[in-house]
Amino acid sequence: MHERPSPPLSPLPALIFSARWLQLPLYLGLIVAQGVYVILFVKELWHLLHDAFTLSEQSIMLIVLGLIDVVMISNLLIMVIVGGYETFVSRLRLESHPDQPEWLSHVNASVLKVKLAMAIIGISSIHLLKSFIEAGALNGLPFCDPALLAQAASEVALGGVKSCTTLTTTGVMWQTIIHCVFIVSAIGIAWTDRLMSGINGSRERAAAAH
């Protein structure tokens, strides 16, 4: 049996509904940003390979964490681009596509919020780990003057000893607090989503019983 065609919308609802296409340039812009992150990844990877024999172990670890950070941000971008377009703009119609992401089959605004929150926590964890690694080598170093930042970065890249730092104990403490706030927020979002799903399920069961 053929599905009955939907009746045409009146002009005002059609105009309001078509306003969703205004988001299309935003998602196209995020695709451009994804390309910029690919360039950044290749740049950092080339730096790692080119200076692999001169970099210190800590410098290599920080560069690798930076690469992981770029990958996680790229995953976040893909999640926003694909999931956001599917949820708020138009169907991608990937049901029969062999490469359809597993999470896209049941994506909605609530699921997307939870997944974005978890991705942000992962990115924050990488940044916090990088700060902990750098903080472990402070040993009371003075704070870097802005004019000495480039010199300090080149010293570390060549395996030298840092003469100053861009980290402070207070800064690391606030990074940790903000990371914990992210975790609490993600738990709150997931709990709220589960609560709303339970309420909607109860209403559906009640409607089916009648």
User: What does the pLDDT look like over 87-112, one tens digit per residue?
Assistant: 888 888 777 777 777 767 666 777 77
Above pLDDT 90, what percent of the chain? Answer: 12
pLDDT at 57: 79
Residue 36 reports pLDDT greater than 80: yes
Q: Is residue 34 part of a domain?
A: yes
Structural domain that includes position 178? 12-136+168-209
Q: Is residue 5 part of a domain?
A: no
pLDDT at 37: 92
Q: Is residue 181 part of a domain?
A: yes
CA distance 210 to 204: 10
pLDDT at 144: 56
- CA torsion 77-81-87-88 (nearest 10°) is 120
Check the CA dihedral 56-45-26-104 and report its sign. negative
User: What does the pLDDT look like over 116-126, one tens digit per residue?
Assistant: 888 888 888 88
pLDDT at 99: 77
Q: 3-class DSSP state for residue 143?
A: strand
Residue 199 reports pLDDT greater than 70: no
Spatial CA neighbour of 58 closest among 173, 139, 174: 139
Across the chain, mean pLDDT equals 77
DSSP conformation class of 9: P
Among the residue ranges 27-31, 47-51, 152-156, the one predicted with the least confidence is: 152-156
Q: Tell me which of 102 and 179 has the higher pLDDT.
A: 179
CA distances from 148 to 54, 139, 142, 165, 194 (A): 21, 18, 11, 10, 51
Above pLDDT 70, what percent of the chain? Answer: 71
Q: Is residue 159 part of a domain?
A: no
CA distance 149 to 181: 30
Q: How confident is the model at residue 129 (pLDDT cuts 50, 70, 90)?
A: confident
Q: Is residue 162 part of a domain?
A: no
Q: How confident is the model at residue 43 (pLDDT cuts 50, 70, 90)?
A: very high
Sequence-distant (6+) residues with CB within 8 A of 19 are none
Give the number of domains in the chain.
1
Q: Is residue 203 part of a domain?
A: yes
Q: Is residue 89 part of a domain?
A: yes
Q: Tell me which of 15 and 193 has the higher pLDDT.
A: 15
**pTM of the full predicted structure?**
0.68
Q: How confident is the model at residue 41 (pLDDT cuts 50, 70, 90)?
A: very high
Q: Tell me which of 33 and 20 has the higher pLDDT.
A: 33
Amino acid found at 66: G
Q: How confident is the model at residue 1 (pLDDT cuts 50, 70, 90)?
A: very low
Amino acid found at 130: K
User: What does the pLDDT look like over 146-164, one tens digit per residue?
Assistant: 555 555 555 554 445 455 5
Q: Is residue 94 part of a domain?
A: yes
Task: Return the residue matching tokens 């210190």.
Answer: 56
